[in-house]
Amino acid sequence: MSSETGTLTFGGKTTEFPVKQGTIGPAVMDIGKLYASTGAFTYDPGFMSTAACESKITYIDGDKGVLLYRGYPIDQLAEHGDFLETCYLLLFGELPTAAQKADFDYRVTRHTMVHEQMARFFQGFRRDAHPMSVMVASVGALSAFYHDSTDISDPSQRLIASMRMIAKLPTLAAMAYKYTIGQPFVYPKNDLDYTSNFLRMCYAVPCEDYKVNPVISRALDRIFILHADHEQNASTSTVRLAGSSGANPFACIAAGVACLWGPAHGGANEAALKMLEEIGTVDNIPAFVQRAKDKNDHTRLMGFGHRVYKNYDPRARIMQRTCHEVLTELGIKDDPLLDVAMELERIALSDDYFISKKLYPNVDFYSGITLKAMGFPTSMFTVLFAVARTVGWIAQWKEMIEDPGQKIGRPRQLYIGSPERDYPPIGKR
Ligand code: SDX
């Protein structure tokens, strides 16, 4: 608690509120008693100035373009570690020792299979169903198969549910992909690392062996690290709110998948690639940028802008480097989409509109080009984001459930509807 306090004068009465200072970052004013003392609510629909919780997991400095997972800078984790190491860090708060890492990898690997009846669950979908619709349904359906890990009051059940979701999301994602292309599901193999296992489940076919390209696997593993967590973003806040009611962890993560799907959030990687394809060539960029600046045109530069980052998204830099690495490895010399993306970024970053509004490329701007080069269809881009973000959602859900002060989330409103009125008979309406 800080010695400072905040004061607010309303209705002729001044109320003092305690101020809390975190380890780093903005202080918060605890206004929990505001309504009781003033009879008024705060009003902050987009949560522009609202901290909804305390957390030790991820810190973002939007002005400096800093992203820390449990205090470690994202570029160091992406450079030196792998995705399961980041999962361990986000879940338990510290980097694992070699023995802890080996044990964690072993346990996650042995949870990658899904209940065999899940395969029949997919048969209910049309083949052209968007893979995200399959993911929302199948992640929620996990609670129908794993009753032994839905009691959230039991720490051991919370842990097994967490391990199961980290392990099974790639399997479900690969199944969602295989189903839409009419190929048979591929079972996980325990002698492959997490991301190589996922690539093989996506691209192997029964007719021949599939050899994972280690450069591509390492690049995708790094992309998973970049997408693992991001403080109280929309889908994480959705998971926390769902979890605050006591809903089982599988249902909460399914809610997170649903929220992530939106083009303003995790769906932006799919939207950004479609935007680059719509622009098509470099000489179409100025007209498109004009539309993105036009107040009367709903066009936006997808993959640009961010609620928190008012500087370059640190993940976008690493994403751009990874994009070049993948294209080089795959021998893709001059990808016209990359040319459009690079030129669009150059033009936007020198345009007063984007400079004044502090709009920079975010994590979604280069990811689409990279994932397309890896062979993923656009409809799978947000599915990959969901695979990576599952550990962040779970870590945040676990932190909330283990918070002794946790209460059900129940915001209030500013009512602007009709005052009370009597029911008129239908003949008098
Ligand atoms: C993710 O929260 C997270 O951490 C999310 C995420 C994560 O890891 O979980 O980082 C992942 O969701 C990244 C963001 C992906 N979304 C996109 O790339 C979609 C395009 N970007 C925007 O829609 C927008 O920038 C948001 C939604 C990301 C942020 O919106 P805000 O903070 O609510 O800002 P805003 O919409 O109020 O925009 C502020 C101004 C507006 O102009 P004015 O009304 O002030 O005149 O900037 C303009 C906007 O019109 N603007 C854009 C723009 N983004 C904002 N104009 C053109 N193109 C854009 N991309």
Determine the pLDDT at residue 228. 98
Pocket test for ligand 1, best of 273, 357, 381, 387 (most atoms within 8 A of CB): 357
Token couple for 398: 């676990």
Distance (angstroms) between ligand 1 centre and the Cα of 223 equals 21
What's the CA gap between 335 and 349, in Å, rounded?
21
What's the CA gap between 250 and 139, in Å, rounded?
6
In this predicted model, what pLDDT tens digit does every residue of 335-381 receive, in sequence order? Answer: 899 899 999 999 988 999 999 999 989 889 999 999 999 999 999 99
In this predicted model, what pLDDT tens digit does every residue of 247-270 receive, in sequence order? Answer: 999 999 999 999 999 999 999 999
Determine the pLDDT at residue 124. 93
Determine the pLDDT at residue 349. 87
Q: Is residue 428's pLDDT more than 90? A: yes
Determine the pLDDT at residue 333. 84
Pocket test for ligand 1, best of 69, 297, 344, 359 (most atoms within 8 A of CB): 359
Cβ(274) – ligand 1 distance below 6 Å: no
What does DSSP say about strands 58-61 and 66-69: parallel, antiparallel, or unpaired?
A: antiparallel
* Protein residue with its CA nearest to atom 3 in ligand 1: 233
Q: Which atom of ligand 1 is nearest to the CA of 233?
A: 2
What's the CA gap between 241 and 293, in Å, rounded?
34
Q: 283 pLDDT band (50/70/90 cuts)?
A: very high
| Axis-axis angle for helices 98-109, 194-203 (nearest 10) | 30
Determine the pLDDT at residue 76. 97
Tell me the mean pLDDT in the region 151-170.
Answer: 95
Determine the pLDDT at residue 140. 95
* Protein residue with its CA nearest to atom 31 in ligand 1: 307
Name the active-site residue from 306, 335, 339, 422: 306
Tell me the mean pLDDT in the region 112-116.
Answer: 96
Q: What are phi and psi of 133, to 5 degrees?
A: -70, -35
* Protein residue with its CA nearest to atom 12 in ligand 1: 265
Q: Is residue 3's pLDDT more than 80? A: no
Judging by beta carbons within 10 Å of its beta carbon (0-12, 13-18, 19+), is residue 86 exposed, middle or buried? buried
What does the buried/exposed string (b/e) look like for 358-394 if buried means 16 or more CB atoms within 10 Å of the residue's CB?
A: ebbbbbbbbbbbbbbbbebebbbbbbbbbbbbbbbbb
Query: Looking at per-residue confidence, does 334 or 332 come out higher?
Result: 332
Q: Is residue 53's pLDDT more than 80? A: yes
Q: Which atom of ligand 1 is nearest to the CA of 292?
A: 57
What does DSSP say about strands 72-73 and 66-69: parallel, antiparallel, or unpaired?
A: antiparallel
Token couple for 177: 């992909």
Neighbours of 185 (CB within 10 A): 16
Determine the pLDDT at residue 1. 64
Name the active-site residue from 229, 364, 403, 422: 364
Whether 44 sits among the annotated catalytic residues: the reply is: no
Pocket test for ligand 1, best of 59, 289, 306, 344 (most atoms within 8 A of CB): 306
Tell me the mean pLDDT in the region 18-24.
Answer: 96
Tell me the mean pLDDT in the region 107-117.
Answer: 97
Q: Which atom of ligand 1 is nearest to the CA of 235?
A: 9
Determine the pLDDT at residue 421. 97
What's the CA gap between 150 and 245, in Å, rounded?
13
